[in-house]
Chain A
Amino acid sequence: AQSVTQPDIHITVSEGASLELRCNYSYGATPYLFWYVQSPGQGLQLLLKYFSGDTLVQGIKGFEAEFKRSQSSFNLRKPSVHWSDAAEYFCAVGPNQAGTALIFGKGTTLSVSS
């Protein structure tokens, strides 16, 4: 079955510290992988995506993610977190079996402490 697991429900990081959000997936073929961010009361913003090629993907706002096929992982990283990064982060894999939609993880809430 296709699924996405984000093991950490909530993470707190000090401002200026590095960040890694974990994402593991179960998928029968080569997946397309995505990270979205959602600020409170807002919609989804695409941070980055991986389709093929270089397994280290650069995104917006200084984020990057690394695809590791052997570990079925697509972890999101940022070297120095800013207070404005506090939000909820969703990892997603696609497409679903019908080829139409994304399968989302349950999300990780990031808090940033000063």
Chain B
Amino acid sequence: NAGVTQTPKFQVLKTGQSMTLQCAQDMNHEYMSWYRQDPGMGLRLIHYSVGAGITDQGEVPNGYNVSRSTTEDFPLRLLSAAPSQTSVYFCASKSFNYGYTFGSGTRLTVV
């Protein structure tokens, strides 16, 4: 099993550009979530999904959109990147018995 796969691993964007961070899991987990990690802030929840077609906001959702058209994929979209979105992004999925699997992260820099 590949687990949770995030692409790309690194990305540099210019302010105002848009992009999609990809997240895919092959464990048939219903629950998926996106976090951002900033120095001294830990991981903060951006958006989450409890299944295909169902998403909701987490702690820091502004500037990000998500969709969940399939169980496997949970992409995170930045519509108009800002320097404040420079961060490391982690995608995670949760099994029925509370096993959380994290992707390896995407390091995003907005200049």
Contacts and interface: CB of A to CB of B under 8 A. Distances in A.
A43 B103 contact: yes
Contacts of B42: 4, 6, 90, 104-107
Contact of A100 (B31, B103, B104, B105): B31
Contact of B48 (A34, A98, A106): A98
Interface stretch (B13-21, B76-84, B94-102): B94-102
5 contacts: A44-B90, A51-B98, A92-B43, A105-B42, A107-B40
Interface in B34-77: 35, 40-45, 48-50, 56, 58
A20 to B, nearest CB: 19
B48, B90, B103 — which one has the most chain A CB atoms within 10 A of its CB? Answer: B48
A98 to B, nearest CB: 6
B33 interface: yes
Interface of A: 4, 6, 9, 32, 34, 42-44, 46, 49, 51, 90, 92, 94-96, 98-107
Interface residues of B, number: 24
Contacts of B48: 98, 100-101
Contacts of B43: 90, 92, 102, 104
A99 B102 contact: no
B40, B50, B58, B98 — which one has the most chain A CB atoms within 10 A of its CB? Answer: B98
Contacts of B24: none
B90 to A, nearest CB: 7
A68 B97 CA distance: 22
A100 B33 contact: yes
A90 B103 CA distance: 16
B50 A100 contact: yes
Contacts of A51: 98
Nearest to A41: B107
A95 B94 contact: yes
A50 to B, nearest CB: 11
Contacts of A100: 31-33, 48-50, 94
Given A43-B105, A99-B50, A100-B32, 8 more contacts: A43-B102, A44-B102, A90-B42, A96-B58, A98-B50, A100-B48, A101-B33, A102-B43
